[in-house]
Amino acid sequence: MCTTCGCGSKEVLIGGKVAAKRIARVAKLGNVAYRTLAAVAPAAPAPVHSPDPANTRRIQVERDLLAKNDTLAASNRALFQARHMLALNLVSSPGSGKTTLLVRSIEALKGKHAVAVIEGDQQTENDAERIRATGVQAIQINTGKGCHLDAGMVGQALDKLELPENSLLFIENVGNLVCPASFDLGEACKVVVLSVTEGEDKPLKYPDMFRAARLMLLNKCDLLPYLNFDVSLAIANAKRVNPGIEIIQLSASSGVGMNEWVEWIARNSVTLS
Ligand SMILES: Nc1nc2c(ncn2[C@@H]2O[C@H](COP(=O)(O)OP(=O)(O)O)[C@@H](O)[C@H]2O)c(=O)[nH]1
Ligand SMILES: [Mg+2]
């Protein structure tokens, strides 16, 4: 958990505006009741960084933080279900190719699905701009010192997007193989992107993330001829920590394997949403 890594909620920007604190409330969409989010005035961040020799207070704060996140994630999930949306949470190290993959995926999906993207980075609008250049809606969350998206941030970003029924929502999490594993955003599932330049051992070094993911996309396969990367070993390592994980090998740059990923989305938009 990341209560000691420098996360701070004060600096969060959503679509360039200061984020509000969220509370859950019940609303109705058509005939379906779901828990939604209401904005209230920003409050001081929880005292997660205060030293506590006994350690018990820190553990309590972690539990409270995750419990609050889970409540807000349930609100997001109910909204996705009410609108028959598929929401996928893309997680990885920085630079594994998430945004490139999304741009390429959007090109392949355009005309079949309405698509929206929530982008998470500590700073800059760069990735949201890359997505908007494809003609698809994107909202950028800047987490400041924060190292992950949480369900409250995503809930506020959802308020700023038009989300038609049966649409597809990609959430690109902050590049980090640790903290995003712990935070449910209300997504149907996490998709972990591992690129072949990162080494085969990452599933063993960051098992929580690979355990939390339903699918691993092994990206940058176009570079395999130039690297000493053992694909079989990387797959075996991922399966060692998560025997049920599905794996697709692809290259967002060359397009090889993209069909399999697009077919996976089509299959799972029925079964997961
Ligand atoms: N060779 C190669 N480079 C890629 C591929 N996908 C992404 N990249 C490059 O990897 C770098 C990081 O990509 P980006 O999409 O910004 O990664 P993100 O930080 O995970 O969103 C960029 O220079 C991309 O052009 C790929 O499939 N093959
Ligand atoms: Mg990116």
- Concatenating the DSSP letter of every residue in 217-228 gives EEE-GGGGGGS-
Return phi, psi of residue 92, to 5°: 180, 180
- Residue of 219, 146, 139 whose CA lies nearest to 176: 146
Flag whether the pTM goes above 0.85: yes
The tens digit of pLDDT for each residue in 172-229 reads: 999 999 999 999 999 999 999 999 999 999 999 999 999 999 999 999 999 999 999 9
Number of helices and strands in the chain (H, E): 8, 11
194: left (phi over 0), alpha (psi -120 to 50) or beta: beta
Pocket lined around ligand 1, Cβ cut-off 6 Å = 92, 94-100, 175, 219-220, 222-223, 251-253
pLDDT band for 45, please (50, 70, 90 cuts): low
The tens digit of pLDDT for each residue in 51-99 reads: 666 677 777 777 778 899 999 999 999 999 999 999 999 999 999 999 9
pLDDT for position 75:
97
Question: Hey, whose CA ends up nearest to atom 12 of ligand 1?
Answer: 95
Question: Hey, whose CA ends up nearest to atom 26 of ligand 1?
Answer: 220
* Cα–Cα distance measured from residue 223 to residue 240, given in angstroms and rounded to the nearest whole number: 25
pLDDT band for 14, please (50, 70, 90 cuts): very high
Q: How many angstroms separate the Cα of 270 from the Cα of each of 162, 249, 260, 266?
A: 21, 23, 16, 7
Domains contained in the chain, CATH given: 76-271 (3.40.50.300)
Q: Which ligand is the nearest neighbour of the Cα of 92? A: 1
